[in-house]
Amino acid sequence: MAEFGRRTFLGAVGVAAVAGGERVAGGGRVPAADRDWSRLRLTGRLVLPADADYDTARRPYNAVYAGNRPAAVALCADEADVARCLEFASAERLPVAARSGRHSYAGYSTPPDGLVVDVSALREVRPGGVSVVGAGTSLLGAYEALGAAGRLLPGGTCRSVGIAGLALGGGIGVVGRKYGLTCDRLVGARVVTPDGSVRDVDAEREPDLFWALRGGGGGNFGVVTSFRFDTPPAHRLVPFELRTPAGAAVDVLGAWQEWLPGLPDELWTACRVETGRPARAVVSGCWAGPPEGLGPWLDRLAAKVPVQSRTVRPMDYVPAMRYFAGCTGPNCPPVPPTRFVASSRMPRRPVDPAVVVGLLARERPVAVLFDSFGGAIGRVGAAETAFPHRDALASAQVYVTVRAGDEAGARRDMAVVRDGLGADGGYVNYVDPELPDWRTAYYGANLPRLRRVADRYDPNGVLAFAQSVRA
Ligand SMILES: Cc1cc2nc3c(=O)[nH]c(=O)nc-3n(C[C@H](O)[C@H](O)[C@H](O)COP(=O)(O)OP(=O)(O)OC[C@H]3O[C@@H](n4cnc5c(N)ncnc54)[C@H](O)[C@@H]3O)c2cc1C
């Protein structure tokens, strides 16, 4: 464990508890304007509300939380900057949150009145059998850098999601049944803990913290500055899509769920059901085996459901990940901010397709996105990593785009669909600030161990937020 020189004010740290994101003990809040920010000297830059680029620097991806105004955004240039930020926040009893790709569903990386520790400049990727990926790397940035060196990492599809939030909460993606979740490929990380220590963490060094980093959720134990992933050789992938007619959604979702248990690991698939008059379902996925092997598996599903069109496109790894990321041209800018509310459940048995389609018979557009589990994901024990949902058939994400002035209605519809699915559990990366049973939903039986890890590495609750494991 390397340590940066502790700042003199560290000794002054008191207990700072958080309830619903508000500091309630430890001496009260110091107004942002009254803080002596000059004591936070960075190699990078500190952006304050008076700065011209404050709005650009602070904005979260989910525009529902666009009103969150942090006290400052620290654009960290290196690991030492991260350590300085945590020491400063500890001493000042200041809410603090790490930020990588800004895609937290609940805006948790943009704490109101707090300090944002932005690691997005830490995006060096060093590919190899074990690849080092800077914590600020975007997903597409990681796939492109790894793919150029012939390596592959299982992970999500959105190009501008950050590797840190994704990997720390799990990481569901299109080759997950063959290669596991992103967190399953993690073999080590560098983490700055709230005492300012920089720790090299792996199965031998700080094994409890290493366990917690694999699914225990972003922001809970420290700020990761880089990850080491076991990255298998990259190979061609075959994205596919089956479009089915409106009105067939009950049959399609039913047949899709029956199809899942017999599939080989190479086949990952999703089923998206969305409101419409009548509802419509689309089946998509990715084949990670020899291209000629996919057809017979698709035939099996197609024999059970009406198919309007069937698209199968073999491609090299990087073009495939660009395709899933929605990149059509050579330039692929970050996905622009959007307003949405979302949640999830983790069904272990098939859900009733008629119930799902019934729930979606509403005015406001709502989608339920089922992503298949099983394969390599299901062969890891529920307590082996902090990610507990190993026996899930799929994740079921409920997603509602928020239209102007309609947030309350969108939240209402989202909750009705979420609660009507007839499944429990929840994916911490689809973090839902209104999920009633969020502690057990995200972590199940792993919660007590996660709390012990948080107590050990963050005894003063410096990193606490509304849905942190200790809340
Ligand atoms: C459009 C979109 C598509 C998505 N697609 C997928 C998908 O295909 N698969 C999937 O599994 N998930 C997906 N997600 C969910 C995604 O995994 C989570 O939103 C994730 O938390 C985002 O990580 P981030 O780094 O971009 O976000 P941030 O908002 O930067 O961070 C998210 C959380 O992690 C913490 N954190 C950030 N950086 C660090 C760090 N360096 N150290 C410690 N904690 C840190 C933050 O404090 C915050 O609590 C998607 C999300 C969106 C918005």
Q: Please give the distance, rounded to the nearest whole angstrom, from the Cα atom of residue 245 to the centre of ligand 1.
A: 34
Residues 278 and 359 in one domain: yes
Asked whether residue 445 is domain-assigned, the answer is no
Last residue of a domain, one of 185, 211, 234: 234
Number of domains in the chain: 3
Amino acid (one-letter) located at 416 = V
- Looking at the domain assignment, is residue 468 inside a domain? no
**Which residue range(s) make up the domain with 228?**
125-234
Phi then psi for residue 87, to 5 deg, are -65, -45
Q: Are residues 134 and 186 located together in one domain of the fold?
A: yes
Same domain, 376 and 273: yes
Q: Which atom of ligand 1 is nearest to the CA of 221?
A: 43
Domain identity same for 404 and 267: yes
Q: For residue 105, is it within any domain?
A: yes
Together in a domain, 129 and 117:
no
Q: Is the CB of 136 under 6 A from ligand 1?
A: no
Is the distance from the beta carbon of residue 224 to the nearest atom of ligand 1 less than 6 Å? Answer: yes
Instruction: Round to whole Å and give the CA distance between 422 and 154.
Output: 29
pLDDT at 29: 56
Question: Quick one: 52 and 140 in the same domain?
Answer: no
Name the residue among 410, 416, 467 with its Cα closest to residue 438.
467
- Residue 23 shares a structural domain with residue 66: yes
- Taking the centre of ligand 1 as the mean of its atom positions, its distance from the CA of residue 171, in whole angstroms, is 9
CA of 252 to the centre of ligand 1 (A): 30
Cβ 137 under 6 angstroms from ligand 1 = no
Domain end call among 202, 218, 234: 234
Residue with tokens 């491609």: 315
Residues 230 and 250 grouped into a single domain: no
Residue 185 lies in a domain: yes
Ligand 1 near 172 CB (within 6 A): yes
The reported pLDDT for the residue numbered 394 is 98
Distance from the alpha carbon of residue 98 to the mean position of ligand 1, in angstroms: 11
CATH number at residue 173: 3.30.465.10
Answer yes or no: is 460 within a domain. Answer: no
Q: Does 214 sit in the ligand 1 pocket, CB within 6 Å?
A: no
What CATH number is given to the structural domain containing 100? 3.30.43.10
- List, in order, residues 6 or more apart from 219 with CB less than 8 Å away: 97, 98, 108, 109, 168, 463, 465, 468
Residue 448 lies in a domain: no
* Alpha carbon separation from 91 to 1, 17, 62, 84 (Å, rounded): 22, 14, 30, 11
Q: How far is the CA of 365 from the centre of ligand 1 (A)?
A: 24
For position 34, what pLDDT does the model report?
Answer: 74
**Contact of 35 with 92, CB cutoff 8 Å:** yes
47 CA distance to ligand 1 centroid (A)? Answer: 22
| Ligand 1 closest atom vs CA 107 | 29
Does residue 394 have its Cβ closer than 6 Å to ligand 1?
no
Assigned domain for 464 exists: no
pLDDT in tens, 86-105: 999 999 999 999 999 999 99
Of 64, 105, 158, 377, best ligand 1 pocket probe by most atoms within 8 Å of the beta carbon: 158
Q: What is the pLDDT of residues 337-370, one digit of tens each?
A: 899 999 999 999 999 999 999 999 999 999 999 9
Report d(CA 293, CA 69) in Å as an integer: 52
Counting ligand 1 atoms within 8 A of each CB, the residue from 58, 64, 76, 104 with the most, and so the one to mutate, is 104
Q: Which atom of ligand 1 is nearest to the CA of 163?
A: 25
Residue 329 is predicted with a pLDDT of 82
Q: Which of 234, 257, 284 is the last residue of a domain?
A: 234
Distance between CA atoms of residues 257 and 397, nearest Å: 15
CATH of the domain at 399: 3.40.462.20
Q: How many A from CA of 431 to the centre of ligand 1? A: 9
Question: Is there a domain that residue 439 lies in?
Answer: no
Query: Phi and psi (nearest 5°) for 394?
Result: -165, 165
Q: How far apart are CA 420 and CA 154, in angstroms?
A: 31
Residue among 103, 160, 327 to mutate when testing ligand 1 (max atoms within 8 A of CB): 103
Q: Is the CB of 463 under 6 A from ligand 1?
A: no
- Tell me the whole-structure pTM to 2 decimals: 0.94
Smallest CA separation from ligand 1 atom 17, residue: 166
* Domain match, 8 and 91 both: yes
The per-residue pLDDT for 370 is: 98
Residue closest via CA to ligand 1's atom 23 equals: 165
User: Residues 278, 422: one domain?
Assistant: yes
Which tokens belong to 462?
Answer: 């410096």
| CB of 70 shorter than 6 A to ligand 1 | no
Mean pLDDT by 10 residues, the chain (471 residues): 31 29 40 83 97 97 97 98 97 96 98 97 98 98 98 97 98 98 98 97 98 98 98 98 97 98 97 93 98 97 97 97 92 90 98 97 95 98 98 98 94 98 98 98 98 97 96 93
